[in-house]
Amino acid sequence: MKDLFLTQSVDSETQVREAVQTFYAAFDDGFAGGCDFSTEDWNHINPDGGWTRGREQVLKEVQEVHTTFLKGVSDTVEEMSVRFATRDAAVVTVTSVMSAFITPDGVKHENERHIRTFVVVKRGPRWLVMQDQNTAIRG
C-alpha cells in the first residue's frame, strides 16, 4: 500500500511540474495559445501587486502585456520545488530568469530573476494552475 502511494505521489509530482512548465511555455509564446493549463477561477498576482481573477480576465491581461512591453520575452526556469498540501493540491515555488525588456515607465530589465508561487490543483484527471504570484528578486 505504501509503495502504491509513493508511485502515485511521484506521478502526481510529474504532472504538477508539467502543468507549471506548460505555464512557462505559454508565457514564452505570449499566451497566444490560451491557457488550458489553468482552472476557470485562476487568480494571477503580477509583480506590481495587481490581482486579476478568472481565466478569461487573466488571459486578457497577460496577452495584453505580451503584445506590448513583454513581446518576445522569455522566462527560463532555474529551480522548481513541489510541495503537496493534500493529494489534490500542491504549492510550487519557481525561480526563473527573464530575458531583457523595458517596462512602460522606461526602466530596462536585464536578466532579472523572479520567484513565482503557484497553487496547482487536481480537477478531474488533470492538474491545473489555480493561482500564481510573481515577484521580482531584488539585489
> Within a 10 A sphere around the Cβ of 96, how many other Cβ atoms?
20
pLDDT at 139: 75
Main-chain dihedrals φ then ψ at residue 15, nearest 5 degrees: -70, -40
**Does the pLDDT value for residue 132 go beyond 60?**
yes
Domain covering 2-136, topology: Nuclear Transport Factor 2; Chain: A, (3.10.450)
State yes or no: pLDDT of 8 exceeds 80. Answer: no
pLDDT at 123: 96
- The answer on pLDDT for 6 being more than 60 is no
Mean pLDDT across the chain, nearest whole number? Answer: 93
Q: Strands, E, within the chain: which ranges?
A: 38-45, 51-53, 75-86, 89-98, 101-102, 108-109, 112-123, 126-136
Query: For 11-47, how does the pLDDT look when each residue is reduced to its tens digit (9 = 90+)?
Result: 999 999 999 999 999 999 999 999 999 999 999 999 9
**Can you give the residue ranges of every domain in the chain?**
2-136
What is the total residue count of the chain?
139
Torsion of CA 89, 92, 98, 104, to 10 degrees: 50
User: Is 135 a residue whose pLDDT tops 80?
Assistant: yes
Global confidence as pTM: 0.91
- Cβ atoms of 93 and 16 within 8 Å: the answer is no
Is residue 87 over pLDDT 70?
Answer: yes
The answer on pLDDT for 1 being more than 50 is no
Given pLDDT bands bounded at 50, 70 and 90, which one contains residue 4? very low
